[in-house]
Structure 1
Amino acid sequence: MNLRAVVCTALLAVAAASGAADARARNVTDPDAPRSLPEQGPVSVRWTDPSRFSDIRHSRNRAAAVRGDWVRQIAEYLRERAARRLPPGQRLEVEIRDIKRAGEYEPWHGVALQDTRFIREIHPPRIDLYFRRLDADGRVAAEGERELRDSGFMMGADTVGAGDALRFEKDLIDRWLGRELPAP
């Protein structure tokens, strides 16, 4: 067997193994998909039913909109970034209530592009959430609903995160955390 065949066989085995590991949640609306991150550290993140999220309800390609694990990825990013900024001893509880990712599917481009999300200024990212920040004694230090919006999201676009399909949503989170949890 030549080297190319060995490499191809190894890559197929890895792909099959990772596919089996991810088989538990085919899409974000699966009834058995989690609705929160496992408890870990000072930040907890949960979310409402993704089938009610604007990104899915108003999508021009619902099948493509539900595909993947993007809700969990956004939640993990939020937890990781908030944990870095949260003062010692404090806790943050976040419930994501709605997500509309940047861009939209445009099926009129034909079958070859029906699963492609086109990023245009008229489809900015939006995230609605509720949060509670607790001080070291467990008292509520801050709480409220926030509507994260950026209608000029393409103006500040850079190429650093160009390979990340959730870069615009992550930028919303970073800016919100910068306002809510200013650096010490």
Structure 2
Amino acid sequence: MARSIRLLAACAAPLALSALAAPPAGTLTLIFIHPEAYTDAAYRSDYGSDKERAQVMNDIRRHFDELAARYLPPGYTLSIEVLDVDLAGHFEPWRFHGYDLRVVRDVTWPRMKLRYELRGSDGAVIGSGEERIADQAFNMGVNVYSPTDRLRYEKAMMDRWFDQAVTRKIAVRQSGHG
């Protein structure tokens, strides 16, 4: 019995320490503005339905949630309005006898238009703006996301934007230089 208690205590200690080491993330608010007017925000067809756009928006939301959970410190708030989405590739049904297949070429890079505001734990705005983000080199180099991930190019683009617009500004502020 005593051995079981020691083993349980030995297993529980690292869990308790890891809970202390990972404080809760800041707050992310993500809003999609007029998604019915987005340039290209459907996985299955050029003129996606509300359901198809909802799948893309859900995947974008999930990725921004993961970024915020990983990099947004407690007390910080980030508000993002997604104003437009243009996924990498285009549909070319004339090539595939009426089937809607997304063809990804070097000239069909991913794009998004975002409006954001980043606030520190004291409520002061430390970053804001409206930005068109794009990745013209999306098809070159290494992509850390799986080839089966439907948003692999967009996620890499969102990662770079988040690093530049959020993570670096937080680091500058926390170092006392901002």
2:158 aligned with 1:166: no
1:144 aligns with 2:129: yes
2:30 maps to 45
Match of 1:78 in 2: 64
Could you tell me which residue of structure 1 aligns to residue 94 of structure 2? Answer: 108
User: Aligned letter for 2:55?
Assistant: D
TM normalised by structure 2 equals 0.70
The amino acid that maps onto 2:100 is D
- Equivalents in 2 of 1:134, 1:70: separation in Å? 27
Q: Deviations over 1:31-62 (max 9, x none)?
A: xxxxxxxxx96111111111111115xx9731
Aligned to 2:83: 97
Match of 2:8 in 1: none
Q: Please give the TM-score of this superposition, normalised by the length of structure 1.
A: 0.68
> Would the alpha carbon gap of residues 60 and 122 (structure 1) be closer, same or farther in structure 2, given more than 3 Å must change?
farther
Measure the CA separation in 2 of the matches of 1:66 and 1:122. Answer: 27
User: Residues 131, 157 of structure 1: CA spacing in aligned structure 2 closer, same or farther, 3 A cutoff?
Assistant: same
| CA offsets 1:5-28 (integer angstroms, 9 cap, x no match) | xxxxxxxxxxxxxxxxxxxxxxxx
Q: Flag the 1:55–1:65 CA change in 2: closer, same or farther, 3 A.
A: farther
Q: Where does structure 1 lack aligned partners over 5 or more consecutive residues?
A: 1-39
Cα distance in 1, alignment partners of residues 144 and 119 from structure 2 = 36
Tell me how far 1:173 sits from its aligned partner: 0.6
CA gap of 1:107–1:124, structure 2 versus 1, over 3 A, is same
Asked if 2 retains the 8 angstrom alpha-carbon contact of 1:124 and 1:151, the reply is: yes
Cα-Cα RMSD: 2.7
Q: Are positions 1:176 and 2:161 aligned together? A: yes
Shift, 1:82, TM fit: 2.4
Percent of matched pairs sharing the same residue: 30
Q: 1:63 to 1:99 in 2, by over 3 A?
A: closer
The alignment covers a number of residue pairs equal to 143
Higher mean C-alpha deviation, range 158-167 or range 146-155: 158-167
Q: Is the 2:26–2:72 contact (alpha carbons within 8 Å) kept by the matching residues of 1? A: no
Q: Secondary structure at the match of 1:82?
A: helix
Deviations 1:84-132 (A, max 9, x none): 11122111111110000000100112336x2211111111000110111
For residues 86 and 38 of structure 2, the distance between their equivalents in structure 1, rounded to whole angstroms, comes to: 7
